[in-house]
């Protein structure tokens, strides 16, 4: 059968347009395609009248214009969740890039781990940490890890035990309206009128060697957890709140 090709919503395109509207100029450094799934869709009261709907999931790293980047690596995890009903696997992946800021090089990595089966999630984290094990540059690791830091769940604990430090507990803070850094969930339809975020699963980690030249100042805040941040139609921007982190890293003396 012919795959659906008419694009209804391209969230990367929407996001890039919003950045441009606010005079924030970024370009795409790396992208990995994950799951590509297509299912039947009813289009009328006739039970035999079908069309189809297609969802393609990506992980993307954007870089601010003017920042030098190189050595882009993208990959899907070997560990994946099988969905036997549709005969597909749910793919997850990561994007890694080198970025040079103020003459110093950093490895920036973004990922989205499995949400529905903890053993596969942990296996994906193990693959990622294995990939980063030999990295000599300071590493900043971000993503939706689907592992609740507030409860020290298994994947969060595994990453922490492999020399990664989460930024939120070290937060000097832009505000303290959400002191636990909770990011999920909003309702699936994004129309919840109460805020019931209960998990801290959208996380930023770094490796301790970034502190070797002096004190690392960290300021973090959650975005998308206040009523004023809803759209004009009273919808939340996403089913997760986001996290903005400012790392004031001591300059390395050459």
Residue 46 has pLDDT above 80, yes or no: no
Residue 48 has pLDDT above 70, yes or no: no
The model's confidence at residue 5, banded by pLDDT at 50, 70 and 90, is confident
Residue 161 has pLDDT above 90, yes or no: yes
Question: Does residue 215 fall inside a structural domain?
Answer: yes
Identify the CATH number of the domain in which residue 120 sits: 3.60.10.10
The model's confidence at residue 47, banded by pLDDT at 50, 70 and 90, is low
Give the range of the structural domain holding residue 82, as residue numbers without chain letter: 28-34+57-248
The residues that bridge with 248 in the sheet, in sequence order, are 217
Name the residue with higher pLDDT: 192 or 170: 192
Question: Does residue 125 fall inside a structural domain?
Answer: yes
The model's confidence at residue 216, banded by pLDDT at 50, 70 and 90, is confident
Residue 124, φ and ψ in degrees, nearest 5: -65, -45
Question: Does residue 44 fall inside a structural domain?
Answer: no
Which is it for the CA torsion 112, 117, 119, 120, positive or negative?
Answer: negative
pLDDT for the residue numbered 62? 98
183-210 residue pLDDT tens: 999 999 999 999 999 999 999 999 977 6
pLDDT for the residue numbered 212? 60
The model's confidence at residue 45, banded by pLDDT at 50, 70 and 90, is low
pLDDT for the residue numbered 121? 99
Question: Does residue 9 fall inside a structural domain?
Answer: no
Render 117-160 in DSSP notation, one character per residue: -HHHHHHHHHHHHHHHTT--S-EEEEEE--S-GGGT-HHHHHHH
Within 13 A of 6's CA, how many CA atoms are on the CB side? 4
Cα separations in angstroms, 48 against 4, 44, 45, 73, 86:
18, 9, 9, 45, 19
Mean pLDDT value across residues 73-95: 94
How is residue 156 written in tokens? Answer: 């969060």
pLDDT for the residue numbered 142? 99
pTM for the full model?
Answer: 0.91
Question: Does residue 4 fall inside a structural domain?
Answer: no
Question: Does residue 210 fall inside a structural domain?
Answer: yes
pLDDT for the residue numbered 51? 76
Residue 213 has pLDDT above 90, yes or no: no
Which is it for the CA torsion 108, 114, 118, 119, positive or negative?
Answer: negative
* Tally of structural domains, the chain: 1
Question: Does residue 238 fall inside a structural domain?
Answer: yes
User: What mean pLDDT, rounded, does the chain reach?
Assistant: 91
Question: Does residue 7 fall inside a structural domain?
Answer: no
Rounded Cα distance, 45 and 82, in Å? 32
The model's confidence at residue 97, banded by pLDDT at 50, 70 and 90, is very high
Helix, strand or coil for residue 176? coil
| Contacts with 45 (C-beta within 8 Å, 6 or more apart), sequence order | none
């Amino acid at each position: 059968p012919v795959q659906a090709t008419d694009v209804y919503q391209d969230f990367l395109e929407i996001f890039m347009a919003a950045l441009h509207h606010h005079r924030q100029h970024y370009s795409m450094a790396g992208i990995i395609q994950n799951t590509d799934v297509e299912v039947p869709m009813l289009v009328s009261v006739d039970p035999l009248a079908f069309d189809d709907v297609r969802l393609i999931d990506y992980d993307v790293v954007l870089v601010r214009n003017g920042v030098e980047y190189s050595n882009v690596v993208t990959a899907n995890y070997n560990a994946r969740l099988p969905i036997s009903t549709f005969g597909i696997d749910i793919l997850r992946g990561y994007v890694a890039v080198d970025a040079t800021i103020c003459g110093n090089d950093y490895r920036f990595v973004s990922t989205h781990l499995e949400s529905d089966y903890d053993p596969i999630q942990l296996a994906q984290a193990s693959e990622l940490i294995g990939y980063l094990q030999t990295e000599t540059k300071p590493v900043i690791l971000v993503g939706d890890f689907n592992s609740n830091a507030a409860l020290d769940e298994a994947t969060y604990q595994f990453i922490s035990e492999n020399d990664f430090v989460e930024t939120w507990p070290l937060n000097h803070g832009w505000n303290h309206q959400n002191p636990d850094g909770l990011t999920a969930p909003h309702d699936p339809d994004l129309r919840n009128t109460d805020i019931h975020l209960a998990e801290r699963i959208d996380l930023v980690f770094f490796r301790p060697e970034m502190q070797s030249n002096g004190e690392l100042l960290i300021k973090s805040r959650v975005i998308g957890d206040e009523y004023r941040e809803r759209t004009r139609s009273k919808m939340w921007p996403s089913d997760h709140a986001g996290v903005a982190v400012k790392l004031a890293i001591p300059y390395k003396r050459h």
